[in-house]
Amino acid sequence: MRITMIGTGYVGLVTGTCFAEFGHFVTCVDKVQHKIDQLNKGTVPIYEPGLDALIKKNTEEGRLSFTTDLSRAIPDAEAVFLAVGTPSSRRGDGYADLTYVYEAARDVARYLRGYTVVVDKSTVPVGTARQVERVLRETNPEATFDVASNPEFLREGAAITDFMRPDRVVVGVESDRAAQVLREIYKPLYLRDTPIVQTTIETAELTKYAANAFLAVKISFINEIAMVCEAVNANVIDLAKAIGMDGRIGGKFLHPGPGYGGSCFPKDTVALMRIVQEYGENVRLVEAAVEANAAQKARMVKKIREMLGGSETGKTIAVLGLTFKPETDDMRDAPAATILPALLEKGARIRAHDPKGMEEAKRSLPEAIEYKENPYETVVGADCLVLMTEWNQYRALDLQRIKRAMNTPIFVDLRNVYDPEIMRAAGFSYTGVGRK
């Protein structure tokens, strides 16, 4: 099939490339000429394992192309996916900013020729598809189209696997004709017996928010239980393993840490709260998870401060890992973006390393942070080492080399990567999260 993807951000680029890998002919459109030029040269603007190779393969085989020209990309398309950004509103009220969605809908409408399914792929509040339909009809009353919702469930760092072998595909449609187009697009997954959940448009829109909110609640829950474990001298790792064996609970997202971050959970939980409030209701569990997440980040600052004897003033802190999770360069709402400025404000000196996120970090974190080329450079002369993100590169560090390089062998493990007994035997003052 002929598919056009509007937006070459994380969702649009991964989705368009994977559709091409399915065998469809995909044109990815973006307004930023420089980004399109780079993609046409084979330079990928985001880091996602395996994505660059998949783009190269499908462009060389003629199934994937990039352009800024809507007049070339839209008229022959059988499906147009809107995969533009929906950031939090600049007003600071937590609502999703749908400016780019409606702008994209107006641009698409002008070039619609023949029957087309216009699909919301962006994470959008309930009711957005209805407004997209209104915008399309007002802009081009003669157009023949259906609007559908097809939310994405991609984990950064594992997006290609998630797309190719998803737990499910959710499709919100109103017409059999639109449903048939989407079934054809996802035919390779049908053949693998992937569950395809067909719902109303509103149900599909809400599903994405509900899924992310549930996972955010689960993370905040285990972080609060970790706090209890520290108070009563219990071990949260063993506890999480035990409760995760219950089939009703499951072990995923029961890993305590410095709080959730990224492009989805912080934005989507708050947006869901605002959506519900419009209907005069509350989602108190989600509200509590948001509050608990903020408290967890503050708790991590306190933990680091206590390990430094009660004050970080004048101390050098080495930080390993800046992105909100491994295998991505995404710094959006990363715990580091809250924790490190708080330490700097009280007079700490910070040196940092991240395998993929340092360029993004330089744009989003305070300039005072000093960046190093490798973990061992980072710890030279440090009074404390904080493991912030559990990249594989940090899981087997040469502990004696690190100890010799540091002023004081203090190790704050915010991801519980290392065994406390081994760390203490190696001569470190060590603390994790939820473990004495």
Read off the pLDDT of residues 333-388 as tens digits, 9 standing for 90 and up.
999 999 999 999 999 999 999 999 999 999 999 999 999 999 999 999 999 999 99
* Catalytic (active site) residue 229: no
Same domain, 120 and 138: yes
Tokens of 396: 């087997």
Same domain, 144 and 52: yes
- Asked if the structure places residue 359 within a domain, the reply is yes
- Asked if the structure places residue 115 within a domain, the reply is yes
Residue 145 has what pLDDT? 98
Residue 161 has what pLDDT? 95
- Asked if the structure places residue 233 within a domain, the reply is yes
Residue 86 has what pLDDT? 87
> pLDDT (tens digit, 9 = 90+) per residue, 271-296?
999 999 989 999 999 999 999 999 99
- CA 404 to chain CA mean position, Å: 36
Residue 352 has what pLDDT? 98
Residues of the chain with pLDDT under 50: none
Number of domains in the chain: 3
Same domain, 147 and 252: no
Same domain, 98 and 14: yes
- Asked if the structure places residue 398 within a domain, the reply is yes
Tokens of 1: 């099939």
Residue 93 has what pLDDT? 73
Rounded CA gap, 77 and 73, in Å?
A: 7
Tokens of 205: 């829109």
Domain's final residue, options 172, 199, 226: 199
Which residue in the list 28, 229, 264, 384 is annotated as catalytic? 264
User: Beta strands of 145-247 (E only): which ranges?
Assistant: 145-149, 169-172, 196-199
- Asked if the structure places residue 44 within a domain, the reply is yes
Same domain, 261 and 378: no
Q: Which domain holds residue 225?
A: 209-290
CA distances from 73 to 3, 81, 379 (A): 9, 12, 51
What dihedral do alpha carbons 327, 271, 257, 314 form, nearest 10°?
A: 90
Same domain, 115 and 214: no
Same domain, 39 and 172: yes
Largest CA distance in the chain: 75
Residue 116 has what pLDDT? 98
Same domain, 142 and 38: yes
Same domain, 217 and 170: no
